[in-house]
């Protein structure tokens, strides 16, 4: 097996120690950091994502895999340029104002990070101004909003309006999700995507960057 194949396998085995050793060895062997990330680590997480969707992996295992990957990415970070790091996209994610629910959002954030995107999770109860501010600060390319209550869904539209007003609509792709959210609501308020679960959210985010 090549270095990169071994790295993919170690991550699939959720073996953090071994993975980090292999990453160091790969670097010593002259393999570029961005190749280790894009051809070693991310393909493993793509497989993890598929296994999550098909129910072949348990969520705690997916979480562990994501943590193990994040650990190895720390080794690569100093060697990656900003562009290489953010090639997949820079995501701002949060639950809208008035809403405190975040379990689903947390899973989405984790899956997106594991897919190679940079994710800034703002948490819950985020106002339209809060989203706009962070989009500017982090040069975000993707905004993800979550709501569990029908009474807080209107905040999604208000946030879109605030983004348009700030002249940022062309900069970000906007995705929404949450139990009461629908495709037709997404169409109505003019966002770019609706995702029904973490797996499809991560896929949609990746497709934005492509």
Binding residue for other proteins, selected from 44, 57, 109, 205, defined by CB under 8 A: 57
Does position 58 interact with other proteins (CB under 8 A)? The reply is yes
* Of residues 97 and 173, the one with the C-beta less far from other proteins: 97
Does position 30 interact with other proteins (CB under 8 A)? The reply is no
Distance CA 97, CA 27 (A): 44
* Strand, helix or coil for residue 55: coil
Which region among 4-12, 78-86, 97-105, 162-170 touches other proteins (by CB under 8 A)? 97-105
Query: Beta strands of 60-194 (E only): which ranges?
Result: 90-96, 118-126, 142-146, 173-177, 193-194
* Of residues 30 and 60, the one with the C-beta less far from other proteins: 60
Which region among 64-72, 73-81, 115-123, 180-188 touches other proteins (by CB under 8 A)? 180-188
User: And the tokens for 154?
Assistant: 């209107």
Smallest gap from residue 144 Cβ to other proteins (A): 17
Q: Which residues contact 20 (CB under 8 A, 6 or more apart)?
A: 71, 72, 75
- Which stretch of DSSP H or E encloses residue 63? helix 59-76
Does position 81 interact with other proteins (CB under 8 A)? The reply is no
Does position 164 interact with other proteins (CB under 8 A)? The reply is no
Does position 103 interact with other proteins (CB under 8 A)? The reply is yes
**CB 76: neighbour CB atoms within 10 A?**
20
User: And the tokens for 210?
Assistant: 């492509």
Distance CA 112, CA 89 (A): 10
Binding residue for other proteins, selected from 104, 122, 127, 189, defined by CB under 8 A: 104
Does position 179 interact with other proteins (CB under 8 A)? The reply is yes
Q: Which residues contact 209 (CB under 8 A, 6 or more apart)?
A: 87, 88, 89, 117, 141, 142
Smallest gap from residue 124 Cβ to other proteins (A): 9
Binding residue for other proteins, selected from 154, 158, 189, 192, defined by CB under 8 A: 154
| Footprint on this chain of other proteins (rule: CB under 8 A) | 52, 55, 57-60, 98, 100-101, 103-104, 107, 149-151, 154, 179-180, 182, 184-185, 197-198
């Amino acid at each position: 097996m090549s270095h990169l194949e071994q790295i993919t396998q170690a991550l699939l085995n959720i073996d953090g120690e071994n993975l980090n050793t292999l990453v160091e060895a790969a670097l010593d062997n002259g393999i570029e950091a961005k190749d280790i990330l894009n051809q070693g680590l991310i393909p493993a997480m793509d497989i993890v994502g598929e296994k999550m969707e098909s129910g072949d992996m348990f969520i705690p295992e997916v979480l562990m895999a994501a943590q193990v990957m994040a650990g190895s990415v720390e080794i690569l970070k100093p060697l990656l340029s900003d562009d290489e790091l953010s090639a997949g996209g820079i995501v701002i994610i949060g639950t809208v104002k008035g809403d405190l629910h975040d379990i689903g959002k947390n899973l989405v954030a984790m899956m997106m990070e594991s897919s190679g995107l940079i994710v800034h999770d703002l948490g819950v109860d985020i106002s339209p101004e809060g989203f706009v501010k962070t989009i500017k600060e982090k040069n975000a390319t993707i905004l993800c909003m979550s709501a569990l209550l029908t009474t807080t869904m209107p905040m999604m539209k208000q946030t879109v309006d605030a983004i348009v007003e700030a002249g940022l609509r062309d900069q970000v792709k906007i995705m929404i999700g949450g139990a009461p959210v629908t495709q037709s609501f997404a169409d109505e308020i003019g966002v770019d995507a609706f995702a029904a679960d973490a797996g499809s959210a991560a896929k949609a985010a990746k497709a934005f960057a492509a």
